[in-house]
Amino acid sequence: MREKKPGRMGMKRVELALLAFLLAGCGAETKKEVAVVTLPDQDSAGAQILISDCTECHGAPQPSAHPAGEWAGVVRRMQNWRTTKGFGVIPEKDEAVLIRYLQEHSRQ
Ligand code: HEC
């Protein structure tokens, strides 16, 4: 009996460590969601394309990062990165919607 107790305690400690690890994982996930929510006009088609096609390699880029005139060039460069890294190129129609979205909310 006495010998078994420490064993069970040990198991509990492992379980607690695992739980803490899982909770920490949840925390990180929540942070990511919060970062995404800070995009302007979040429900628009452009924002949704940004969330799905511009976050594979880095966090969601903010439209305010560039003035309107620079966004087409930045997106072209990112399309090249997509090709280089083996992601599919964003279709022309989506790219146009995305660039319009970035320009509408760009740095003034
Ligand atoms: C395949 C990976 C990949 C994807 C997908 C990707 N990027 Fe990038 N992005 C990079 C890399 C690598 C850098 C750093 C080198 C550079 O700036 O070219 C970067 C840097 C940036 C920067 C900071 C540099 C700057 O010029 O301001 C912005 C803004 C950006 N990306 C926007 C976007 C947008 C918008 C999309 C979606 C169209 C996108 N990224 C999708 C790889 C990617």
Calculate how far, in angstroms, residue 78's C-alpha sits from the geometric centre of ligand 1: 5
Distance, in Å, from the CA atom of 77 to the CA atom of 82, rounded to the nearest integer, reads 9
CATH label of the domain that carries residue 89: 1.10.760
25 and 70 together in one domain? no
- Quote the pTM value: 0.76
pLDDT digits (tens, 9 = 90+) for 24-34: 555 555 555 54
Calculate how far, in angstroms, residue 43's C-alpha sits from the geometric centre of ligand 1: 22
Q: What are phi and psi of 6, to 5 degrees?
A: -60, -35
Q: Is the dihedral of CA 88, 91, 94, 98 positive or negative?
A: positive
The predicted structure's pLDDT at residue 35: 47
The predicted structure's pLDDT at residue 106: 97
45 and 70 together in one domain? yes
Instruction: Provide the domain limits for residue 68.
Output: 40-108
Q: What percent of the chain has pLDDT over 90?
A: 64
The better pLDDT of the pair 5, 44 is held by 44
Atom 27 in ligand 1: residue holding the nearest Cα? 65
Cβ of residue 47 lying under 6 Å from some atom of ligand 1: no
30 and 65 together in one domain? no
pLDDT digits (tens, 9 = 90+) for 35-53: 445 899 999 999 999 999 9
Atom 7 in ligand 1: residue holding the nearest Cα? 78
Contact, 60 vs 50, CB < 8 A?
yes
